[in-house]
Structure 1
Amino acid sequence: MQPSTRQSSPLALLVVLCVFSTAGCASLPDTDAILARHAMQAAQFETARGPVSVQKSAAIVAELKRTSGDIDILDKQIALEQALTDRPLMLGNKVTLLQDGPATYAAMLKAISGAQDHINMETYIIEDDAMGQAFAQALITKQRQGVQVNLIYDSVGSLATPKQFFNELAAAGVAVLEFNPVNPLQSRGGAWLLNNRDHRKLLIVDGRTVFLGGINISSVYSSGSIIHRATKLPVGDGAWRDTDLQIDGPVVADFQKLFMQTWDKQHGKTLMPKNYTPVLTAVGKDIVRAIGGTPDDAFNQVYLTMISAISNAERQVFLTNAYFVPNPQLIQALLDAVTRGVDVRLILPSYSDSGLVFHAGRAQYTQLLEGGVKIYERQGALLHAKTAMIDGVWSTVGSSNLDWRSFMDNDEVNAVILGRDFAQQMAAMFAIDQAASKLITPQSWADRPLQFKLKEWLARLWERWL
């Protein structure tokens, strides 16, 4: 979704109406049928040098289970993920958890400043505001220093950004590519795919460092949410709560492939020759898999990965998500997990920049609460994060929301991280957010004002297109 700072315009309204009218009749996959087709197989890992032996792979899984408890999610989830995607679990990475805009932007701009060969950037929104200009000038500076900058931005997400903003980047030598232009006369590949949006947030520097998560390039993220204190700030103070990752190591090559695939799919001009596939070495101990989802796939890998991880959970499912409009399969997976004795907790927004999405998600609360799911609403900041931690060993951070649009219409990208140490960081972050949230009880929810119930009913009529 896009920040609420945008002003309404006839063009924006037309785009929204066109998106609804071109949604089509696609449906989410039958996860049970797909999972049943994939037999269990031994886990496979890779390093920067290539595949790891069967014996070594088995030892890695055994060590993960030893440090995290004997849990089936490792065997089942690893087997499923490698059956669904051609991207392996990569060893030897260093993952840094970045909480909120100020920390994320500082790390991104530092990496841009240190770039030596090339910068590949892909974003849903880049605004012509103070933060957008800071990034634009940093990119132009590197381009003038001989570092090739390649930028993909989404046409709808950046609809309010003046074309002059991108023209200035292009004039400096930056290769700029508009994803699925709103203008049908500018469509590429013979189809006007207005409903397919690029919701990814990727910054790849020299093919060695990648940033990804929920943060767009906009000054709305600059205030942060004071994540390190469970402080309940006044609603509307402008704070945004988000989560990103900085990853260094061999898995960056897989995120680079996703960027290049998007560039090719959008028929971008031939990129300037640079070292886009540098030799990578181990820089840490984190195990990471890159997962990309697009409407072009036979089934959405991000969606199936999330559903199966919840279905394989034995202890905990901790989800934090900004735009929660679950489909029936996701709801059932959460309810089934509770039935198995799993502690299922959701941290969701207490207010949103999208009223329709907010109320459509709340329309599902009654069923979830009655089924034993614990729901918390984050206070004092607009929640924009998209994260999950399951069973103290499986974590994911990315751009994908838990809604129909992310699973069916958008290009999305997530990182899956295996390991207890990183999961503990995720659990600690979740605990801080939970402390800054209000618990929604079945009784308090039943007693909510009638006007909210009406808004929820109306919003549900649109949930497929939100």
Structure 2
Amino acid sequence: MYLIKINNLSIFRFAPTLFLTLLAGCSSIPTMVPDMAMQPKHAVQLDGAHGPLTAQQSKAVLARLKKNGDDTNIFDKHLALEAEIVGSPLVVGNKVELLIDGPTTYDAMFLAIENAKSSINMETFIIEDDEIGQRFAKLLISKQISGVQVNLIYDSVGSISTPKAFFKPLTESGVNVLEFNPINPLATRKGWDVNRRDHRKLLIVDGQVTFVGGINISSVYSSGSFGKSRSTKGDQQWRDTHLRLVGPVVNEFQKLFMATWNEQKGALLATRDYFPEQTNKGNEVVRAIGSSPEEPYSQIYVTLLSAINSAETRASLTNAYFVPDPKLLAALKEAVQRGVDVRLLLPEKTDSLMVFYASRSYYEELLCAGVKIYERRDALLHAKTAMIDGVWSTVGSTNLDWRSFTNNQEINAVLLGQDFGLQMQNMFEMDLESSTLITLDEWRARSISVRLKERAARLWARWL
């Protein structure tokens, strides 16, 4: 991570990327597609372990999901929304575990890797040469030597501080290591664009279990934010969210990993059963959404925007980097006008001051519109989650900023149903207990110097 200071304002999260972007010229920002139509044009199609369900099977699943709900059309509206999003299917029969913070997530990942029998596919923005990174590397090497095929994708900019020597033992053991969109001019590929980054955090073991969310491979995540810290990298605690999924939807995440590997011209993968026969593991309905700048628009952006625009009761969004485009800003304000309780949980501390001040430049406009803004204390908030109306939830790698929506490869899980929605709401409420509500009067009393920093950062919003 590199920073430049102008009048004591640190402005760059990843300076090499921004410098190269400016040198390349100010290209136009891709247009973000508006929300999708809310009325289904066809019957809702659900997929299971053995492919598409029959109409009767789908009806039974939907009836079960709605049986404990209020007598409203909220679930139907969000189901209609998901039915109209093209791409990966809505998949039934999954079990999903909500993982809060790094220690819990890493423990679950290590256990899954240790039990691997066939293959391990990992895709990450950051993998650092520190205690956690070394522990992952040693475990992956051990599994590769034992006969499990390990395939690793890491982002060139995200892992810019990781020495090449870190990856040498991995490759020497037989691990397939692929650097996403190398920034080294000698290693660049056709169609190279320095702005295009792989921001995904994905782990798939034996084609049977998937981990997805906001947590990178770094010791900064070794500390939990609600209890005793186990940090080995200073005293800063990090707050993040991840998922562990088993069931038929794992195939959809595996397809997204394979697509990135092939697009980046990775080496031919060793023959393994990457798509084993799946069985029903639970009752969750899940969609795997992978967004890429090569697509006409960001799938997760369209899905989230549509969910907010269809909200009837509440919208609870948690995000580390909040630099909204005009449509997202309008969707939040219009939801309040419809009577929706809109709450944003944003960081009080940050690892990117430029994004931090740009984010705060939107506070007054949102507060005046009736949006409730909370800032998480005592930990660096890095989670990217949302819950709408208690029935639509998402956890993933996508920030609410221009970079995630236009330049990054991102990955999210979208879940439909009230059981998981209740877990998400409980997690959000737990975070609010460790947060400060920002009031309009208090916000208007901030200093002139802070206002100037916000205004300066706002100028860079599209490039953050």
CA distance in 2, matches of 1:312, 1:21: 41
Letter in 1 for 2:209: T
1:24 Cα shift? 2.2
1:366 aligns to 2:368 (yes or no): no
1:39 to 1:68, Cα distance in 2 relative to 1, 3 A = closer
Q: Deviations over 1:168-189 (max 9, x none)?
A: 210110000000000122122x
1:27 aligns to 2:25 (yes or no): no
1:132 aligns to 2:133 (yes or no): yes
Q: Deviations over 1:46-92 (max 9, x none)?
A: 11011112233233333333322244443333333333332111111
Aligned partner of 2:107 in structure 1 is: 106
Q: Deviations over 1:310-359 (max 9, x none)?
A: 01111110011000001110011111111111110010000100000011
CA distance in 1, matches of 2:419, 2:227: 20
Aligned partner of 2:7 in structure 1 is: none
Determine if contact 2:2/2:15 at 8 Å carries over to the other structure.
no
Q: Deviations over 1:213-268 (max 9, x none)?
A: 00000000101111699xxxxxx831000000000111000000000000011011
331-340 or 57-66, which moves further after superposition? 57-66
CA distance in 2, matches of 1:361, 1:380: 19
Letter in 2 for 1:137: K
Determine if contact 2:81/2:307 at 8 Å carries over to the other structure.
no
1:95 Cα shift? 0.3
CA distance in 1, matches of 2:17, 2:359: 23
1:134 to 1:215, Cα distance in 2 relative to 1, 3 A = same
CA distance in 2, matches of 1:167, 1:70: 59
TM-score by length of 2: 0.93
SS of the aligned residue for 1:122 comes to strand
After TM superposition, list the pairs within 5 Å mapping 1:365-444 onto structure 2. 365-444=363-442
Aligned partner of 1:250 in structure 2 is: 248
Aligned partner of 1:194 in structure 2 is: 194
CA distance in 2, matches of 1:3, 1:272: 37
Structure 1 regions of 5+ residues with no counterpart? 230-235
After TM superposition, list the pairs within 5 Å mapping 1:14-413 onto structure 2. 14-22=16-24, 24-32=27-35, 35-36=36-37, 40-188=41-189, 190-226=190-226, 237-413=235-411
CA distance in 1, matches of 2:207, 2:268: 18
1:460 Cα shift? 0.4
SS of the aligned residue for 1:330 comes to helix
Determine if contact 1:98/1:246 at 8 Å carries over to the other structure.
yes
CA distance in 2, matches of 1:228, 1:340: 42
TM-score by length of 1: 0.93
Q: What is the aligned residue count?
A: 451
266-275 or 76-85, which moves further after superposition? 76-85
Determine if contact 1:399/1:414 at 8 Å carries over to the other structure.
yes
1:41 Cα shift? 2.7
1:40 to 1:411, Cα distance in 2 relative to 1, 3 A = same
SS of the aligned residue for 1:85 comes to coil
CA distance in 2, matches of 1:14, 1:396: 31
Determine if contact 2:38/2:77 at 8 Å carries over to the other structure.
no
Q: Deviations over 1:367-401 (max 9, x none)?
A: 11000000000000000000011111111000000
CA distance in 2, matches of 1:290, 1:30: 20
SS of the aligned residue for 2:68 comes to helix
Aligned CA-pair RMSD: 2.0
Determine if contact 1:65/1:71 at 8 Å carries over to the other structure.
no
Determine if contact 2:317/2:344 at 8 Å carries over to the other structure.
yes
1:227 to 1:51, Cα distance in 2 relative to 1, 3 A = farther
SS of the aligned residue for 1:62 comes to helix
Structure 2 regions of 5+ residues with no counterpart? 4-9
Q: Percent identity?
A: 55
SS of the aligned residue for 2:394 comes to strand
CA distance in 2, matches of 1:400, 1:86: 17
CA distance in 2, matches of 1:227, 1:26: 42
